Each structure stands twice: as C-alpha cells, then as structure tokens.
A and B are shown apart, each in its own frame.
Chain A
Amino acid sequence: MKILNINKGIRGYIIDDDKFRGCSIAVVLRLPLKRETVTRNALIVNVLGLGSKNYPSPMQLNRAAEEMFGGGLECVNVKKGDSQLLEFYAEVINKDDNIKNALYIMREVIFNPLIENGGFRKDYTEREKTALRLSINSIKDDKREYAKTRLTEEMFGGEPFGVFGDGYAEDIEKITPETLYDGYRDIIKTAEIDIILVGNMCVENVCRYLAEFDKGERYFPEESVSANKVTETRRITEDMDITQGKLCMGVRTCADYYPLLAANEILGGGSDSRLFMNVREKEGLCYYITSSVVRCCKSIIIQAGISKKDLDRVIEIICRELREFYNVSDEEIEGAKRNIIKHYTASEDVLGSISDFCMGGILGGEVYLPKDGAEKIKNTAAADVRNVFKDTFPDTIYFLRERD
C-alpha cells in the first residue's frame, strides 16, 4: 500500500493487488456530520452528479462515462460514523486508460461544475431538492431501517452520530442555486479529500494521475463534541400499519473498538451468536436478530423482527444475555475472533470491501488494510472482551409496533 500526500488534506491511498480483474476508484470528500450542513451537502453531491461544465446533462455525462471507462459512475452521500462522505465511485476493468479516464471524469464532476449566474443550474437544483425531499420522506418505507433511524435519533440526539445522514426536509426549501454554490465552494476548500484505489493497476501511472488532484488553497476548522450520559433505559413505542414489529435497542459501552467488535460478534454477530441461539433457535421468537457496532460511539445496536406479544420476553432474554455476558467461554471468544478474522480475510477478496475498510481506517485513525485489522483482533485480551458489557444496560429501546 502506498500513501500519497497530494496537497494539504488531499491524500491518495493506493492498494495494488493484481489478483483482481478490476480496479475500484473512490474520491471521497469527508466532512463533519452537522445538523446545519448535512442537507446542503447531500444536495451538492446530487447536483454535481447531473452534469459538469463540459458534460452538461445526465445523458452527456453518462455517455462519456460509458464510452471512456464502461460507465457506472456513482455520486452518493454517505453517513459513516460521525462523518458525512460525498463519494464519487466507480469500478473499472484494469486497463490503464479506464483508470485514467475515470479519474478525469471524477475531477471534471467535482472541480468543474456547471455554473450559471453565480449558482448551480436552477432546474437541476430544483430537481434534486424534490428528489431529496422524497428520499427523506421514504425512510419509513423500509421498516427495519426506519426503526434503526428512529433509535439513532433518540439515543444519539445532540451528538454528530445522531444527525440524520440524508438531511432534513424542513431545511430544503430555503436552499437556492446560489447558496448551494456558496456551500460547494466552502466544502471544496475544507473537506478532507481521500482518493482510494484498489486493484490491478500500474502504481507509477496512478501516482501521476493523482497529482492532478492538487487543487487550490485549503483550510480545516477543528471541533469536538461530547457524548450523552444515560442513567436509565428509555423506551419508545410507535405504531404502524405493518405485519411484524421491529425492535431496535442501543447499548453504550466504554470499550475499545476491537474488544467491542469481538463482544458484539458473540452476542449477535451471526447464526451461532448468543442472541440467535437463544431468541430464534431455542424459543422460535424471530427470524432475524443481529447486533452491530457503532464505532464512533462505542455502542452496539441490536435489531430483531418480532411480534408485539413477544416483546417483553425478547427484551428479557437480551438483558439476561448482556448481564451474563461476563461468563463467555474462552472458546466463544476464540470463535468470535476467528469469525472476525475470517470476515477481514474475506474482505481482502473484494475490491469495494478493501476500499471501505481503508475508509474506516481513515476515520478511526488507525489501520488501513484488513490484514492489519486481523492482527489487532488476534491480540485482543479475553478479559477485555468479557468486560465489554460490564455495568451496561440498554440505553434506549425502540419498538415499531405492528397492527393487531
């Protein structure tokens, strides 16, 4: 792996692996997740994706992309931890021309936008305002995701992670093509820009192409935020016209990332986890039950699809498993470590996963390759894993309740 410092806050990460046929290219504008700017930023990446100065419409841009590198350019807004990522991503076949052309089109889209009268194009701005409004309104369509979003909002309100990554409908209206362009000029200067390439490529050539990302003057403000404190479990219930209730529980810990990852794996990682065994296999109370780690908040989120008649029983089992977690056996810990290492090893075979892991490392300020993550988890002490849920309890329990 090679790390290039291209300009202040602009870095290239080149992970050369010739077992792949393809190469993934991600240019990521990284911004702090904030209530005031999240909506505007989400809109910016979508408007940029409609066309640039030289390719001023979706058809022209997509035709050029198709012709030059086989197309498939994605311009998306992603919430990752407590950051907002404006991501420009493509996977191409490993021909030098494809990589060069994809980077060229991405530079074009990011740095050479279509501007009219001191703002973005009015019709494009309006189109994307409508699209964003609809997309925000549609969060209720995926009930499982909606329950998680609501839990996140309730549990982490006031912290960056509690900010809704797609933005807020009520902030859309006042945005104009001009204010949007002001926002664009701001983020082009302030965003950290990470360019991650994974796959089969000529590193020397790629370094040359990346040098062309050396753009203008840049500065970085610094801020910090503290976490919410909890004293007792909060329970929130909402009714909806659905067939199956969606339970979502959040638990805060004080644990470091790797012990937390191992403990989460044992608790609700896969089909041999304690929750899966006890809630599904032993008592047949659900089809899915999983837990996942929120790295930036040292927390886990447990999700299950259940009937409301079983709600109390399911919560009881989950709380019991948290309480009795300290007694996990050495075999369970070793098994969990093996599972995680397996997961890391598996991600070494997938372009997008390596790229994603690298981004996670950039945010966590640590390791950039899956194999280094595997090393960390291998060296995690069993005692640290056992202590992860010591003195913890569910911070927030959210239940999206089904009709009778």
Chain B
Amino acid sequence: MKISARQLQNGTKCYIIYKKDWKMKEAMFSVNFGSADDSVIPGTAHFLEHKVFEQKDMDVFKEFSSKNASVNAFTNFNTTAYYFICSDFFEENLKTLLKFTAEPFFTDESIEREKSIISEEIKMYEDDPWWQVYFNLIGALYSQNPVRNNIAGSIGDINRIDRSILTECYKKYYCGENSALVICGDLDADKTFDMAERLILPEQGEKYEKKKFSDGIESHRTVKKMAVSRPIFNLGFRESDFDTSPAERVCATNILLNIMFGKSSDFYEKMYLSGAIDKDFSMEYLLGEGFGAGILSGASDSPDNVAQAVYDRIAYIRKNGISDYEIEGSRKQLLRSFFLGLDIMEKVVAGQTDFAFKKTSYEDIYNKYIGITKKEVMNRLDIFDRDDSALSVIEPA
C-alpha cells in the first residue's frame, strides 16, 4: 500500500491509495463541513448531504447503478462525504461523483419532501438508545461547541431550513480549498491525479476560519428514560488542550485507555466477573477539530458505581504509573487493529479523509505507535479529570 498526495489546481486535496490486486475501487469526495461546523441551523450539513443528490437531469442512484457502482454519503462532526465503490467503469463513476456534488439542483418542492424523510431518520435515531446515550453525553460535555447538536438536527430545526440557507451553505463550504478527494484501488497514481484534474471540480473558494468555542461542562450527569431493559451509560472526559499533535493524541490516548480499561486489564476482569459491566463495555478516543474526548460505554445496573470505579482506577494509575510490559501489550494490540484497518478499503478511505482535515496521516500514526514513550502516555492522564467528565445514562422507563 502506498499513499500519494497532491493538491489539485482548484485547491482540493487529493490522495491516491494504491492497493495491488484489489478488485474494488473507491472514491470519496468530501468537504470539511459537518454538524460541529453548523453555524446557521443545526442539521444543515446533513440536510445538504441529502439534497446534493438532487440533480436537474440525472438520477444519481440509477446513474451509478448502471455503471456497477453503489453510492452513499454520510455526515459526521466535521465532514460531509460522498463516495462510490465499483469494480469497473472507474473513470465514468468518478466523473459522476464529481459532477453531482458540483451541480446540485435545489427546488422548494424537493426540499419540502426531504423534510418528511429526514424526520423519519431523526425518529429512527430517537428510538436507538445507544445513539441517544452518546449524543446526550456530547451535549453534557460541551456547553457551547455545536458538536453538542444532533447531526441531523431536530424536527423543529429542519423545518426552518429552506432553499436559501442550503444554497448559502453550499456556496460557502463546497469549495476547492475546503474539500478532499480520496481514491483507493489498484490504480496508477499519476494517471489518476491527471484524470481528476480533467473532471469537474468545485470552484476554488476560500478556506474559512473555524470558530473557536470556550466550553465548559454543560452538566456532569444526564439521564433519560427509554424503553430499555437495563441502564446503559456513556462516561466521557473532555479534552481541552489541543497543542499536542493529533497523532500523539490518538496513539497515547488509545494506549492509555487500553491499559486502564482494556480486556487484558485488572479493572476489566474485576468489573466483569463481579457483574458490574458486560462484554459490550468499550472505550474510544474521539478526535475532533477543536474538541476531543475519552469515552467509556456499556450497560450496567449501576452506572454510577462503574463511574466511581473508573475514577478510582484513574487515581490508581496516576499514583502508581504504568509498566513497560503493559505498554508493549497495548502497542501490539493497537498495531494489530491499525494494520487490519488498512485491509478494509472503506475504512482506509474514510480514515484518510478524516486525516486530511485533521492534519495527520497514517504514517504519523504508525510512527507514533512505534516510538511512543511512557511519558507521552502518562501525559494523557490530563484528559481524565473528574471535573471535566460527564455521565450520560439511559434508564428503563
């Protein structure tokens, strides 16, 4: 696998990930605009994602389907991305991808119809307790940053969205400087760069400055009642120092989380065997632009007791430190996941897109895992301050 990078004439950052002998090819066009960048009305980035598919004289789904490709899109905190996967007709499909994202056609009527589809999507997530517990946590961790809003907004929000808002946001965010194109497959890098240059690309535009937010914790504990069989929880720790490099933030935090709470930890064994947590207990580090958090998630009859055990564990590690042996095991575990992730095309492409906007790379991450020091890992304990934490719980109704 080899990754080549080039900035296209219009400003779009373009990456070709070469995968020898792979059957499929994928291309993802993305803009650095997600729900945490929604400056107007929550849910605008996601609404735009739906409407960009609308064209004057083309049915996007049929067009891709007729060229053996499947197309999809997603919106997350900092990104809106459109991508297709195909085995042949790559150039035609790339042309369609860039054309439809460059020439959407908004009509009042189709915008109104989309509201009922997005309402159903919002309602679907309202019934998903794991989604709810996660977004309630984010809302509790951040008092200001729009990351606290639901990605799709609320039904009230989307009813305020109209054609002029979509057009304005499209013009502002869908420009060369604010976009990336990631391509993966058994493809020649130079030829593919040239191919991309020849196709319709968004206008150059201006890179806009992201707003900064001075956040406090909105609340340390949030509870919602839903139709669940037992309580589920997310316990989050909000990061506030962003001077460290993204690669170090990712690698050191993941290693620390694995040592403190992973399947091979003393903590996990005790908590699991005592019945305090289940096998679905998991942890993640969320790396965002201008935000970040360590998050533990699971089901438990007493989330507050789990939270207390987590605080105790952190205090213990703070006092007693970690061993080289633990770092070694965690490094091996995380490098395994890192390399296996490279074997999954959709993951690599989405990962490279994410890295493009967050100013890091696969190479940086790999090198950081290899060279990480105990001090760097221990430094990450700074995130895990109880004062910057929040517990989100969904309780049985």
| A residues apposed to B, CB below 8 Å | 19-22, 57-59, 62-63, 65-67, 69-72, 91-93, 123, 127, 130-131, 134-135, 137-138, 140-143, 240-244, 270-272, 280, 284-288, 305-307, 335, 338-339, 341-342, 345-346, 348-351
B264 touching A342, Cβ below 8 Å? no
| Cα of A306 to Cα of B278 in the assembled complex, Å | 32
Residues of B within 8 Å of A307, CB to CB, are 120
B124 touching A244, Cβ below 8 Å? yes
| Cα of A58 to Cα of B62 in the assembled complex, Å | 50
A243 touching B278, Cβ below 8 Å? no
- Chain B contact residue count (CB 8 A cutoff): 65
| Cα of A70 to Cα of B1 in the assembled complex, Å | 21
B70 contacts partner chain A, Cβ-Cβ < 8 Å? yes
| Cα of A131 to Cα of B300 in the assembled complex, Å | 11
Offer 11 A-B interface pairs, CB within 8 angstroms, sorted by A: A21-B1, A71-B263, A131-B279, A140-B227, A141-B227, A244-B120, A307-B120, A339-B65, A346-B23, A346-B87, A350-B345
Residues of A within 8 Å of B65, CB to CB, are 270, 272, 335, 338-339
A22 touching B340, Cβ below 8 Å? yes
A21 touching B263, Cβ below 8 Å? no
Residues of A within 8 Å of B24, CB to CB, are 345-346, 349
A342 touching B397, Cβ below 8 Å? no
A70 touching B275, Cβ below 8 Å? no
Which residue from chain A places its CB closest to the CB of B273 in the assembled complex?
A127
| Cα of A57 to Cα of B274 in the assembled complex, Å | 13
A244 touching B265, Cβ below 8 Å? no
B61 touching A243, Cβ below 8 Å? no
B342 contacts partner chain A, Cβ-Cβ < 8 Å? yes
Taking the closest CB of chain B, its distance from the CB of A76, in whole angstroms, is 9
Residues of A within 8 Å of B339, CB to CB, are 21-22, 93
Taking the closest CB of chain A, its distance from the CB of B316, in whole angstroms, is 16
Known contacts A58-B269, A127-B275; 4 additional CB pairs below 8 A are: A69-B336, A141-B228, A143-B227, A270-B70
| Cα of A350 to Cα of B126 in the assembled complex, Å | 32
Per a CB cutoff under 8 Å, which of B19, B23, B114, B266 touches A345?
B23
A71 touching B264, Cβ below 8 Å? yes
Residues of B within 8 Å of A286, CB to CB, are 117, 120
Taking the closest CB of chain B, its distance from the CB of A92, in whole angstroms, is 7
Taking the closest CB of chain A, its distance from the CB of B228, in whole angstroms, is 5
Interface string of B268-302 (1 = CB under 8 A from A): 11001101001100000000000000000001000
B333 touching A71, Cβ below 8 Å? yes
B245 contacts partner chain A, Cβ-Cβ < 8 Å? no
A58 touching B345, Cβ below 8 Å? no
B123 contacts partner chain A, Cβ-Cβ < 8 Å? yes
A141 touching B272, Cβ below 8 Å? no
Residues of A within 8 Å of B335, CB to CB, are 70, 93
Which residue from chain A places its CB closest to the CB of B397 in the assembled complex?
A241
Which residue from chain B places its CB closest to the CB of A276 in the assembled complex?
B61
Per a CB cutoff under 8 Å, which of A70, A130, A280, A342 touches B332?
A70
B129 contacts partner chain A, Cβ-Cβ < 8 Å? yes
B269 touching A71, Cβ below 8 Å? no
B21 contacts partner chain A, Cβ-Cβ < 8 Å? yes
B230 contacts partner chain A, Cβ-Cβ < 8 Å? yes
Residues of A within 8 Å of B272, CB to CB, are 58, 127
B68 contacts partner chain A, Cβ-Cβ < 8 Å? yes
B214 contacts partner chain A, Cβ-Cβ < 8 Å? no
Residues of B within 8 Å of A134, CB to CB, are 229-230, 278, 299
A138 touching B299, Cβ below 8 Å? yes
B278 touching A244, Cβ below 8 Å? no
B264 touching A62, Cβ below 8 Å? yes
Which residue from chain B places its CB closest to the CB of A331 in the assembled complex?
B66
Residues of B within 8 Å of A19, CB to CB, are 19-22
Residues of B within 8 Å of A93, CB to CB, are 335-336, 339-340
B2 contacts partner chain A, Cβ-Cβ < 8 Å? no
A287 touching B344, Cβ below 8 Å? no
Taking the closest CB of chain A, its distance from the CB of B261, in whole angstroms, is 12
B230 touching A58, Cβ below 8 Å? no
B343 contacts partner chain A, Cβ-Cβ < 8 Å? yes
Interface string of B363-379 (1 = CB under 8 A from A): 00000000000000000
A58 touching B273, Cβ below 8 Å? yes
A280 touching B333, Cβ below 8 Å? no
| Cα of A272 to Cα of B345 in the assembled complex, Å | 23
Per a CB cutoff under 8 Å, which of A65, A67, A72, A242 touches B127?
A242
B279 touching A59, Cβ below 8 Å? no
CB interface residues, B 82-103, toward A, < 8 Å: 85-87
Which residue from chain A places its CB closest to the CB of B113 in the assembled complex?
A284
Taking the closest CB of chain B, its distance from the CB of A169, in whole angstroms, is 11
A67 touching B332, Cβ below 8 Å? yes
